[in-house]
């Protein structure tokens, strides 16, 4: 019997790029579902894989199918699956957890010690079909646009970070105007923050942050944080900080512009060499909290209900490409002149004709 194949974007060679090639269609286990991919989005992690940077070279096996931000339709369910049916529109949690460690058993799957990433540690969603455990499937609601579900993964990062501390009536500092930082600004404002200040050096993305709810943006090439704080009437520092950039300088500046007793959520990945001024952290009574992934399923529920309550994150999607033009999508992401980039898989097989 001839093996069935599908189109997928793979790391075919240990060098820059991704390659569209035919690979075997994944098999469905008793507790799995098979999803026909409708749309995917490009993540910063996918860009690292595409560019083949140092992290990717030490993490990604050659031959891997990339991608973990997606929406699609269930086309097959395993014999043991209950609650999901063929024809359902779904997205999914990208961290496949072990279900056995202490955190999983306590309901804190986001802290699973043995989590495996879709599109990082196992084949991902840049393909015609994806197979994942049914326990990782999130059912989509018809009143939410399909393409928004394609970015629920990064929206979840933003939600997990922005909801780590109470922001009602507070002054919030967000360092890093990438798509996740921008969505965090939208969430903070929607959640009742007074000032939401976003810092970066990319004017395109600072403009996006303003569109999505930032009350003040700072281009660090042109303005200084302390001067802006004075201009908006702040005297004691920010109540809540969200470090999204991974920049050691941004973290240093944030720590030194918090009020005493301020709280900082850390999502941006800092290098091992980053120095932290612990003296200031201790004497100023600051709280630093590391954020990884999304809470399962708390974050997903909050994302859904915020959109239903009127939060509009749609402007963060700035580019749409047919999957056959995926290289243009990566170029848009790498340029920094984009928000989220959506890749449409509906015409993939027309390339064969």
What whole-number distance in Å separates Cα of residue 251 and Cα of residue 96? 30
**Cα angle vertex 41, ends 186, 340, to 5°?**
40
- Are 10 and 23 in contact by the 8 Å Cβ rule? The answer is yes
What whole-number distance in Å separates Cα of residue 62 and Cα of residue 69? 20
Q: Pick the catalytic residue: 5, 10, 40, 45?
A: 45
Q: Which residues are annotated as a binding site?
A: 43, 68-69, 98, 101, 104, 112, 180, 200, 205, 267-269, 291-292
Q: Which residues are annotated as a binding site for NAD(+)?
A: 180, 200, 205, 267-269, 291-292
Q: Pick the catalytic residue: 10, 38, 40, 48?
A: 48
Q: Could you tell me the two tokens for 100?
A: 């056995």
What whole-number distance in Å separates Cα of residue 193 and Cα of residue 206? 18
What distance separates the 2 farthest-apart alpha carbons in the chain?
Answer: 73
Tokens 């900082």, located at residue: 264
Q: Is 199 a catalytic residue?
A: no
Task: Name residue 10's beta-bridge partners.
Answer: 19, 65
Q: What b/e readout covers 73-98, taking b as 16+ CB neighbours within 10 angstroms? A: bbeebbeebeebeeebbbbbbbbbbe
What whole-number distance in Å separates Cα of residue 39 and Cα of residue 342? 7
Q: Which residues are annotated as a binding site for Zn(2+)?
A: 43, 68-69, 98, 101, 104, 112
Q: Which of 83, 78, 82 is nearest to 34 (CA)?
A: 78
Q: Is 45 a catalytic residue?
A: yes
Q: What b/e readout covers 252-282, taking b as 16+ CB neighbours within 10 angstroms? A: ebbbebbbeebbbbbbbebeeeeeeeeeebe
What whole-number distance in Å separates Cα of residue 85 and Cα of residue 80? 12
Residues with active-site annotation: 45, 48
């Amino acid at each position: 019997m001839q093996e069935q194949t599908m189109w997928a974007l793979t790391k075919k060679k240990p060098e820059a790029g991704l390659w569209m090639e035919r690979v075997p269609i994944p098999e469905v286990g008793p507790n799995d579902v098979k999803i026909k991919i409708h749309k995917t989005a490009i993540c910063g992690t996918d860009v690292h894989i595409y560019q083949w940077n140092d992290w990717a070279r030490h993490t990604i096996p050659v031959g891997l199918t990339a991608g973990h931000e997606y929406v699609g339709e269930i086309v097959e369910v395993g014999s043991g699956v209950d609650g999901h049916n063929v024809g359902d529109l779904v997205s999914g949690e990208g961290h496949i957890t072990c279900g056995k460690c202490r955190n999983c058993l306590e309901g804190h799957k986001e802290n699973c010690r043995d989590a495996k990433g879709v599109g990082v540690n196992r084949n991902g969603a840049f393909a015609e079909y994806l197979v994942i455990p049914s326990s990782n499937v999130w059912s989509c609601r018809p009143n939410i646009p399909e393409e928004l579900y394609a970015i629920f993964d990064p929206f979840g990062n933003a939600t997990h970070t922005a909801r780590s501390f109470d922001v009602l009536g507070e002054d919030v500092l967000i360092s890093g105007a990438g798509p996740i930082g921008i969505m965090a600004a939208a969430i903070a404002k929607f959640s009742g923050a007074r000032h939401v200040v976003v810092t970066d050096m990319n004017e395109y993305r600072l403009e996006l942050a303003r569109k999505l709810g930032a009350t003040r943006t700072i281009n660090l090439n042109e303005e200084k944080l302390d001067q802006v704080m004075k201009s908006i009437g702040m005297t004691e520092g920010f109540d809540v900080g969200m470090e999204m950039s991974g920049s050691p300088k941004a973290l240093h500046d944030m720590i030194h512009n918090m009020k005493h007793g301020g709280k900082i959520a850390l999502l941006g990945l800092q290098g091992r060499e980053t120095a932290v001024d612990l003296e200031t952290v201790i004497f100023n009574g600051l709280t630093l909290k590391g954020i990884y992934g999304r809470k399962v399923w708390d974050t997903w529920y909050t994302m859904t209900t915020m959109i239903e309550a009127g939060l509009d994150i749609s402007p963060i999607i700035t580019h749409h490409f047919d999957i056959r033009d995926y290289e243009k999508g990566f170029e848009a992401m790498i340029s920094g002149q984009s928000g989220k980039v959506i890749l449409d898989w509906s015409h993939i097989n027309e390339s064969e004709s």
